[in-house]
């Protein structure tokens, strides 16, 4: 599903933040990405989503060398990815329904299909009864569920989550990680950057570890 081949990333003002990283993540796997603050976790996810471009090396996503993808093709590539962030990144002047519908509207789905899919996604995250609420009227855990519903509404083959439980207490964190495990159990490839070593250990999935931009532990033991 995902292959890094000797990938490096340099920011002009921070130097090399990813250094010669290689690994293969098979389709249908779920992995945690760990490492100290500043190790390069977010940068790795940004390279996969083409939010940033690698400086060297090759990244292959779903059979496509993304280094060759033009700016114009990026939105199509991103549809293969469900992106989830620590700070939810919801639109606070739109309802839960409208937040989740957004990717489908951008992709040009017909009105009836939008309703069907949004309700399907909200059902999966347990928020079907809150579609008319605004995000401010939801708890942090519920807001993150909206973010997850929005990420999976167009059924991407892969989920990338960057510290998705960073703002949540342990119990809510466990519930959110449980949702990712459910998506993985139906075949979605999942990569989650997280600091929460206790929860990662409890979940029992393979762990990748970055240390100062180097991958010191890969996803395949
Ligand atoms: N857009 C950018 N421009 C310049 N430097 C950056 C940029 N983004 C990240 N960096 C630097 O790259 C390094 C790696 O950052 P990154 O966010 O990938 O680490 P991280 O492992 O996700 O850290 P954290 O756990 O604190 O989020 C840091 O030194 C950071 O300051």
Measure 10 CA to ligand 1 centroid, in angstroms. 11
pLDDT at 59: 97
Q: What is the pTM of this model?
A: 0.94
CA angle 103, 1, 142 (to 5 degrees): 40
CA–CA separation, 6 and 83 (whole Å): 24
**CB distance 47 to ligand 1 below 6 Å:** no
Q: What is the 3-state secondary structure (H, E, C) of 14-35?
A: CEEEEEEEEEEECCCCEEEEEC
What pLDDT shows up at residue 49?
95
Q: Are 90 and 136 in contact (CB under 8 A)?
A: no
pLDDT of residue 5: 98
What's the CA-to-centroid distance between 20 and ligand 1, angstroms?
16
How would you class 106 by CB atoms within 10 Å of its CB: exposed for 0-12, middle for 13-18, buried for 19 or more? exposed
183 Cα: distance to centroid of ligand 1 (angstroms): 28
- Answer yes or no: are the C-beta atoms of 151 and 176 closer than 8 Å: no
Q: What is the pLDDT of residue 97?
A: 98
ipTM above 0.90, yes or no: yes
Q: What is each CA distance from 40 to 16, 58, 121, 140, 167, in whole angstroms? A: 10, 17, 31, 26, 20
How many whole angstroms from 207 Cα to the centroid of ligand 1? 20
Which domains are delineated in the chain?
1-80+158-221 (3.40.50.300), 91-155 (no CATH)
Ligand 1 neighbour 37 (Cβ under 6 A): yes
Q: Is the CB of 39 under 6 A from ligand 1?
A: yes
Mind listing the pLDDT tens digit of every residue in the chain (221 residues)? 999 999 999 999 888 999 999 999 999 999 999 999 999 999 999 999 999 999 999 999 999 999 889 999 998 899 999 999 999 999 999 999 999 999 999 989 999 999 999 999 999 999 999 999 999 999 999 999 999 999 999 999 999 999 999 988 999 999 999 999 999 999 999 999 999 999 999 999 999 999 999 999 999 87
Measured in Å, residue 205 CA sits from the centre of ligand 1 at 25
Question: Does 13 contact ligand 1 (Cβ within 6 A)?
Answer: yes
Residues 6+ away with beta carbon under 8 Å from 40: 9, 17, 18, 210, 212, 213
Minimal-distance CA residue to ligand 1 atom 2: 11
């Amino acid at each position: 599903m995902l292959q890094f081949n000797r990938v490096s990333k340099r920011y002009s003002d921070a130097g090399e933040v990813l250094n010669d990283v290689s690994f293969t993540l098979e389709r249908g796997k779920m992995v945690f990405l760990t490492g100290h603050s500043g190790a390069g976790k977010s940068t790795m996810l940004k390279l996969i989503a083409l939010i940033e471009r690698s400086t060297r090396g090759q990244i292959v996503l779903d059979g496509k060398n993304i280094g060759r993808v033009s700016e114009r093709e990026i939105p199509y590539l991103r549809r293969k990815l469900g992106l989830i962030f620590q700070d939810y990144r919801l639109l606070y002047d739109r309802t839960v329904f409208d937040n989740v519908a957004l990717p489908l509207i951008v992709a040009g789905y017909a009105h009836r299909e939008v309703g069907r899919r949004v309700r399907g996604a909200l059902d999966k995250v347990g928020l079907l009864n809150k579609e008319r609420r605004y995000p401010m009227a939801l708890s942090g855990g519920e807001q993150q569920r909206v973010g997850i519903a929005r990420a999976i509404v167009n059924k991407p083959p892969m989920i990338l989550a960057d510290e998705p439980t960073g703002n949540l207490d342990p119990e809510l964190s466990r519930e959110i990680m449980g949702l990712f495990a459910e998506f993985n159990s139906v075949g979605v490839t999942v990569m989650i950057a997280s600091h929460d070593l206790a929860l990662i250990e409890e979940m029992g999935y393979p762990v990748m570890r970055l240390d100062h931009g180097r991958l010191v532990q890969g996803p395949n033991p």
